[in-house]
Amino acid sequence: MKTLERVLSKAGVGSRTEARSWIGQGRVRVNGKLIQTPDHWVDLERDRVSLDGKELQAEAKVYVLLYKPKGYLTTYRDPEGRATVYDLLPESLPYVFPVGRLDQDTSGLLLLTNDTQFAERVTNPEHKVPKTYLVKAAGSLEEAQIQSLRDGVTLSDGPTQPAQVSLLRKTGSCTFVEMVIREGRNRQVRRMLEAVGSKVLKLVRTAIGGIEISGLAIGKHRLLTPAEVRGLAPAARRPRRHSAG
């Protein structure tokens, strides 16, 4: 059983916000009956849902890798009319949603899909899927600061898990490091650098799991291969086994 708005969004026809609007406009029927309550419960095994008279069919699963440029929002629409990642995708794609987020000032690898199970598997901290970032940090980071990042720092929402940090090079005014984290907190890398007395000058996510953006031009996208999907979230498409007793 799922709510009507969730059924529409999971079918890949639009976001939950759009689904609520369509339902309110009287464009959705369940078993031929007009329903204008987004929270109406639907049994997917028995009920037939139609939008504008067309019965919903489950969309084929789509997995997109986008090299997000700096300055784009990870949202479907922006009330202020600013550019979003959807401006970079072709209209021929079915509706997909971001798997996690990158803030406006961060560039790099962003995954989008219409597979909610896959997205949950990738973003849930319990699964510890690594996210790799190239960081340009202000100042010359000392070994003690780098070690603090490796040990984990305390943020306003609690201590972080230890990060893998590799020093790449230093210049007179900045330090380049590669950081790997296994959480997905809001602006986490930026906040971790601030916690050790530095500041992020540039941030690029270069990989999620074993998937990298190398070879992909900024602002461009490609579809993940079946092997990449299986490698990134092998448990996302398998039923769980329950042990006896």
Please tell me the distance from the alpha carbon of residue 193 to that of residue 200, in angstroms, as a whole number.
7
Please tell me the distance from the alpha carbon of residue 21 to that of residue 26, in angstroms, as a whole number.
9
Q: Catalytic residue, from 43, 52, 103, 151: name it.
A: 103
Please tell me the distance from the alpha carbon of residue 124 to that of residue 243, in angstroms, as a whole number.
23
Q: Quick check: is 78 catalytic?
A: no
- Residues near 202 by Cβ (< 8 Å), separated by ≥ 6? 134, 135, 136
Other CB atoms within 10 Å distance of the CB of residue 25:
10
Q: Which residues are catalytic?
A: 103
